[in-house]
Amino acid sequence: MIHKDLQMKHYLALILTLAMISIIIILLYRSLQKVRTTFIGAFTNGNVVVIDAGHGGMDGGATGISGLLEKDCTLTISKKLDLFMSFLGVPTVMTRTEDLSLDHQGGATIRKNKVSDLKARLRLAEETENAVFVSIHLNKFPQSQYRGAQVFYGPNNQNSELLAKSLQKCLITAIADGNTSIHKKATDDVYLMKKATCPAVTVECGFVSNPEEEVLLKDDGYQKKMVLAIAGGYLEYVNEST
């Protein structure tokens, strides 16, 4: 009998302990959720970042000295950026997550497919509520000495320049390679920048025509540094544009 009583006491103690632990977990979870909501609210400002991996599919973009294809590098950087933005709680949409051109029509000319691809990217930016369009590209120049990331902004939204300025500053600080490039207004021939009405920038992550930079652009660590700089620049922009 005494033995049974002791056993019962042990059971009760165990049940009480489990109940206490459950209550603590629920309370902790609730307060963490609260912190997370505040944290996210501070970072997103209601915006959705449309991450545009430049080129894709039949459009390889620029080819580097040792064969790096712009479309592959822009997709890898964009996927990393998407992952990091999600980690920060920033809502994102990607224009592509695979090696393809958007709205591709078999049998149509390359030019026609290129136009429908760009129109599909623009449509996604325009249809996304509170979109901030960040187009990822690589640069190429006939002379190999040019290097460094540079940001270009669209002319239609006053916040585009502010975003470009923050991104350029963070890229220079984070990469710390002596880059002195200044953010600039995109030229009229850059369709997406010319047409987008939301805040829109093109980040030219570096020159594939520079042998050292081409090697860096393929490097996982360098790509992560690039992504941190872009995310940092975006957060600074969110902070300043409110």
Asked whether position 56 contacts Zn ion by CB under 5 A, the answer is: no
* Residues 6+ away with beta carbon under 8 Å from 138: 54, 61, 62, 64, 68, 70, 73, 74, 204, 205, 206, 207, 208, 217
Could you say whether residue 61 binds Zn ion (CB under 5 A)? yes
Residue 151 is inside which H or E element, if any? Answer: strand 150-153
Indicate the residue whose CB is closest to Zn ion. 137
Q: Is 64 in the site for Zn ion (CB under 5 A)?
A: no
In this complex, which beta carbon is closest to Zn ion, that of residue 54 or of residue 148?
54
Q: How far is the CB of 213 from Zn ion (least distance, A)?
A: 15
Is there binding between residue 54 and Zn ion (CB under 5 A)?
Answer: yes
Q: How far is the CB of 38 from Zn ion (least distance, A)?
A: 38
Q: Decide whether 44 or 202 has the Cβ nearer to Zn ion.
A: 202
Q: Which residues pair with 49 in a beta bridge?
A: 92, 132
Residues between 131 and 170 with contacts to Zn ion, criterion CB under 5 A = 137
Number of residues that bind Zn ion (CB under 5 A): 3
d(CA 7, CA 34): 41
Q: State yes or no: residue 121 binds Zn ion (CB under 5 A).
A: no
CB of 209 to Zn ion, least distance (A): 13
- Enumerate the β-bridge partners of residue 94: 51
What is the pairing mode between strands 200-207 and 131-139? parallel
Least distance in angstroms from the C-beta of 54 to Zn ion:
4
Query: Can you say whether residue 127 is alpha, beta or left, with left for phi > 0 and alpha for psi between -120 and 50 degrees?
Result: alpha
Contact call for residue 206 and Zn ion (CB under 5 A): no
Q: Please, what is the minimum distance in Å from the beta carbon of residue 61 to Zn ion?
A: 4
- Quick one: 90 or 205, whose CB is closer to Zn ion? 205
CB of 111 to Zn ion, least distance (A): 16
Nearer to Zn ion, 56 or 61 (CB): 61
- Residue 96 or residue 137: which is nearer to Zn ion going by CB? 137
CB neighbours of 176 closer than 8 A, spacing ≥ 6? none
Please give the Cα distance from 38 to 43 (Å, whole number): 9
CA-CA-CA-CA torsion sign (73, 79, 84, 90): positive
Residue ranges binding Zn ion (CB under 5 A): 54, 61, 137
